[in-house]
Structure 1
Amino acid sequence: MKIEFFAPEWGNTLPFETFCQNVRAAGYDGVEMALPLDDEEKQAILDVLEAHDLKLIGQYWQSFEKDLDTHAGNYEMYLRNLIEAGPVLINCQTGKDYFNKAQNQRLFALAARLSAESGIPIVHETHRGKCLFAAHVAMPYLQADPNLRIAFDVSHWCSVHESLLADLPDEVALAISRTDHIHSRVGHPEGPQVNDPRAPEWKEVVNAHLDWWDRIVEMHRQNDTSLTITTEFGPLPYMPSMPYTKMPLVSQWDVNVYMMILLKERYHLDIPL
């Protein structure tokens, strides 16, 4: 099997050229990001990625419209814009937590059609506020559609369920069996991001996440299929900060690189010197 690691563009404040230089030097295979709708701006980003031999995971997160027809129209517009860039895959924060099952399934069906037309895999993220926001809510969608594949960001579920999901083994197992992409952020029962996964007080929750990710990696090893991982610790306000000054408690970049190295060592992958 092959595991490739992607850096999140989310939170980057550097010129994109400098950011990509750092991403390549750190040992990432690519970048996960949304793309602008303007053709020239989009091509400029793609040119920099190509110049640094970095792959792209397209990211869709613009799920705001309450009217389903408007929502679906914009969903298709953004997905087609990402498809034109030829990414490794597209990760979608699909639907809304308040849409009913038929409404969200309309969006899944639209994504499936676009994926089939383009040949580009589209996965759907387990994200708060979106369709797959909770383990017990995701389960019926996965049961109804055996072809539905996901981006497993279990940090959201820890926060939504206010637990490490010990009472939801079947729901988690089904989600793991459908995972093609991981967001390796560590959440906890009171939030979607620990302040620093290196700190000893988070050992229990870090180990819980490692166990879930181990199961996904083992599944892909057995199936000899590819897996992608984005180390998606986020910036403020995901990143806890000092009051008044709003200074982040740790460096987002340092934590994400730490997570990449931790997982590369754990799964016996090459680490750049």
Structure 2
Amino acid sequence: MQPNKMTLQFFCPRWGQEHETYDAFCRKVKEAGYDGIEAWVPFDAVEREEQAKALAKYNLLLIGQYYQSFEKNFEEHKCNYEKQLRNLLEANPIKIDAQTGKDYFSFEENKALFDLAKSLSTEYNIPIAHETHRNKALFSAHGTKAILEKIPDLPITADFSHWCNVAESLLADQQEALELACTHAIHIHARVGYEEGPQVNDPRSPEWEQQLNAHLQWWDAILKHHQKNGATNLTITPEFGPFPYMPTVPYTREPLSSQWDINVYMMELLRKRYQ
């Protein structure tokens, strides 16, 4: 399939590459053919400047990432959520991926966080996409469907690998939820999950063909929706992660596959498929 007038931008996750300086990381990202990185923005002024300089040096874009959904107390959680989002927004990313809320918060509590993000998104004129992530507000297909029906303008990051894990299936019996989610997705995390986990050990391996094809069909649907509605840009982060997402050899913890190579493979696979 070949989208008309659709620009795809691919982002490399900082997750798993924290051992490298930002300059070395961004140089490698640029050479691999990515358009930018997806990363948390440090509060420390020195680290923040290091990140900004590397992005500018290699002409890379930034998608900010919020994942610090740790506080059990809702008011503390909400306060830190705003603090973290403002820190990301001040770095002027093109978009933010937010692991918003908790699976055990009430709908009203999670909605308060969605409303806060919407207000901040309007204030800074930067989109905030809420990730379909285990342990967060959008942890399941059926739960997200109920939320999207109540909040019809909620933008999401589609990471359906988590839903496969939660539902212990490839979601064949939850098509309505998937179809609705695809119309809300403004960002994709291109990781392939399976019935018993959020990440196959290597999507290039033939035993995972069914799981890869299921995810490709969902991503196809997101792209088609964007085309149908006249959108000209879609962002994608191949987001296979390091240990413990990446299976390892017992005792040695040697990764079974290369996280870096798999993410580059996913970028090249999707670029060829859609462009």
- The interval holding the TM-score normalised by the smaller chain is over 0.9
Q: Does 1:244 align with 2:251?
A: yes
In structure 1, how many angstroms separate the alpha carbons of the residues matched to 2:148 and 2:224?
20
Q: Does 1:217 align with 2:223?
A: yes
Residue of structure 1 equivalent to 2:9: 4
Written as runs of structure 1 = structure 2, the 5 A alignment for 1:98-137 is 98-137=104-143
In structure 1, how many angstroms separate the alpha carbons of the residues matched to 2:43 and 2:92?
15
Task: Using the TM superposition, give the Cα deviation of residue 223 of structure 1 relative to its aligned residue in structure 2, in angstroms.
Answer: 2.1
Over 4 Å off, 4+ runs: none
**Over residues 193-238 of structure 1, what are the superposed CA-to-partner deviations in whole Å (9 max), with x where a residue is unaligned?**
0000000000000000000001111111222312100000000010
Residue of structure 1 equivalent to 2:177: 171
Residue of structure 2 equivalent to 1:159: 165
Task: Using the TM superposition, give the Cα deviation of residue 49 of structure 1 relative to its aligned residue in structure 2, in angstroms.
Answer: 0.5
In structure 1, how many angstroms separate the alpha carbons of the residues matched to 2:169 and 2:221?
19
Q: CA RMSD in A?
A: 0.8
Task: Using the TM superposition, give the Cα deviation of residue 40 of structure 1 relative to its aligned residue in structure 2, in angstroms.
Answer: 3.1
In structure 1, how many angstroms separate the alpha carbons of the residues matched to 2:141 and 2:111?
17
Equivalent residue for 1:149, pick from 155, 163, 167: 155
2:96 counterpart SS class: strand
Equivalent residue for 1:227, pick from 234, 253, 260: 234
Q: Larger deviation: 259-268 or 222-231?
A: 222-231
Calculate percent identity across the aligned residue pairs: 54
In structure 2, how many angstroms separate the alpha carbons of the residues matched to 1:201 and 1:212?
19
Q: Does 1:17 align with 2:19?
A: no
> Do the aligned partners of 2:140 and 2:166 also contact (CA within 8 Å) in 1?
yes
Equivalent residue for 1:200, pick from 195, 206, 223: 206
TM-score, L = length of structure 2: 0.96
Residue of structure 2 equivalent to 1:95: 101
In structure 2, how many angstroms separate the alpha carbons of the residues matched to 1:222 and 1:134?
26
1:53 counterpart SS class: coil
**Over residues 57-115 of structure 1, what are the superposed CA-to-partner deviations in whole Å (9 max), with x where a residue is unaligned?**
00000000011110000000000000101001001000001101001001000000000
2:177 counterpart SS class: helix
The AA in structure 2 aligned to 1:119 is N
The AA in structure 1 aligned to 2:30 is R
1:32 counterpart SS class: strand
**Over residues 33-58 of structure 1, what are the superposed CA-to-partner deviations in whole Å (9 max), with x where a residue is unaligned?**
00111233212211111110000000
How many residues align? The count is: 268
In structure 2, how many angstroms separate the alpha carbons of the residues matched to 1:104 and 1:199?
38
In structure 1, how many angstroms separate the alpha carbons of the residues matched to 2:174 and 2:258?
33
Name stretches of at least 5 consecutive residues in structure 2 with no aligned partner: 1-5
In structure 2, how many angstroms separate the alpha carbons of the residues matched to 1:213 and 1:65?
32
Residue of structure 1 equivalent to 2:274: 267
1:59 counterpart SS class: strand
Name stretches of at least 5 consecutive residues in structure 1 with no aligned partner: 269-273
**Over residues 123-177 of structure 1, what are the superposed CA-to-partner deviations in whole Å (9 max), with x where a residue is unaligned?**
1000000000000101121111121000000000000000000000111100001
Task: Using the TM superposition, give the Cα deviation of residue 16 of structure 1 relative to its aligned residue in structure 2, in angstroms.
Answer: 1.6
Residue of structure 1 equivalent to 2:261: 254
In structure 2, how many angstroms separate the alpha carbons of the residues matched to 1:38 and 1:250?
33
In structure 2, how many angstroms separate the alpha carbons of the residues matched to 1:89 and 1:107?
17
Equivalent residue for 2:59, pick from 47, 53, 60: 53
